[in-house]
Amino acid sequence: MDMSVLEISGIIMSRVNAYQQGVGYQMLGNVITIGLAFFPFLYRLFREKSLDQLKSISAEEILTLFCGAPPVTPVLILSMINFFERLCLTWIFFFMMCVAERTYKQRFLFAKLFSHITSARKARKYEIPHFRLKKVENIKIWLSLRSFLKRRGPQRSVDVVVSSVFLLTLSIAFICCAQVLQGHKTFLNDAYNWEFLIWETALLLFLLRLASLGSETNKKYSNVSILLTEQINLYLKMEKKPNKKEQLTLVNNVLKLSTKLLKELDTPFRLYGLTMNPLIYNITRVVILSAVSGVISDLLGFNIRLWKIKS
């Protein structure tokens, strides 16, 4: 049957929209949000009270630890405002991260279904259209569909959020390295250093997930093995149908050009904004690796240089 690029992409988009995405990272974000909101109270509680004292702690002592001062009315109101402010702002931040994760997951599903179009078995399994690249018109539709699906969904806004979080993670890592250099034995004595470590761990978990999805998406779209398989099928068909050799040769030449085009367009997954700007990328790499080198050298007792500035 005859189908346009919009009709094929519409079927693929309907399959992706019908997919039930997990809520694991959303729950992780909620747990981290609650933990960070209660962190000042928990830090004071476990720092000032032992396990035996926790069994007989009074409500007034809990309020004192919650406020960090005697629980008079103005201090209590200010502490409650501070608590809800931390809770709401942290929840908004991790909600944006969950939206970015769902968007990257959606992009991966688009790429996954697109890579299954030329496979009859997988296309039947996922209930999507199937066609072989045995005609120039089919190759044109395949390339147009690839370009169309890569632009689906929010692009610039989500990539800017992810790159901003990446820069924030690097900044926290730099601050932690500087604190360790000042005194690694007293690093964990301060509450803000513990909070920095919690933020760094949480952000790294989300960034690893996003980097993994982005890399897998790029691999699906840049998979030239599909075109190579179609070229082999064309060579086999030329032997069976020598009368169509001229037409099949034309299709084969177009497949070769498409393969070269995909190889030219093939770039590794990059966080938007950082690696696209060479100046920011080089400054970030030098600063962060210099700080990490200083921390490792201070802990091990001998100099290690992970990055050398070349003039």
Q: pLDDT band for position 40 (50/70/90)?
A: confident
Instruction: With respect to residue 295, please indicate whether it lies within any of the assigned structural domains.
Output: no
Residues in the chain, how many? 311
Token digits of residue 17: 């929209």
Dihedral sign, CA of 180, 183, 188, 191? negative
pLDDT over 90 at 90, yes or no: yes
Total domains present in the chain = 1
Question: Is residue 290, in this structure, part of any structural domain at all?
Answer: no
Looking at residue 93, its pLDDT comes to: 92
Q: Is residue 284 part of a domain?
A: no
Q: 281: pLDDT confidence band, cut at 50, 70 and 90?
A: low
Q: What 3-state class would DSSP assign to 49?
A: coil
The 10s digit of each residue's pLDDT in 159-197 is 888 888 888 888 888 888 778 777 767 777 888 888 888
* Predicted local distance difference test score (pLDDT) of residue 56: 76
Q: CA-CA distances (angstroms) from residue 303 to 187, 299, 300?
A: 21, 10, 8
Q: Which domain holds residue 36?
A: 5-276
Q: What is the pLDDT of residue 301?
A: 61
307 is a domain residue: no
Give this prediction's pTM. 0.79
Residue 303 lies in a domain: no
Q: Which of 30, 163, 160 is nearest to 93 (CA)?
A: 30
Helix axes 24-48, 73-115, angle to 10 degrees: 150
Residue 248 vs residue 217, higher pLDDT: 217
pLDDT above 70 as % of the chain: 85
Q: Tell me the C-alpha distance between 224 and 257, whole Å.
A: 11
Q: Is residue 215 one of the residues assigned to a domain?
A: yes
**64 alpha-carbon distance from chain centroid:** 41
192/105 Cα distance (integer angstroms)? 33
Taking a C-beta distance cutoff of 8 angstroms, is the pair 238, 250 a contact?
Answer: no
Lowest mean pLDDT among 63-77, 208-222, 293-307: 293-307
φ/ψ (deg, to 5) at 2: -90, 130
Asked whether residue 304 is assigned to any structural domain, the reply reads no
- 299 domain-assigned: no
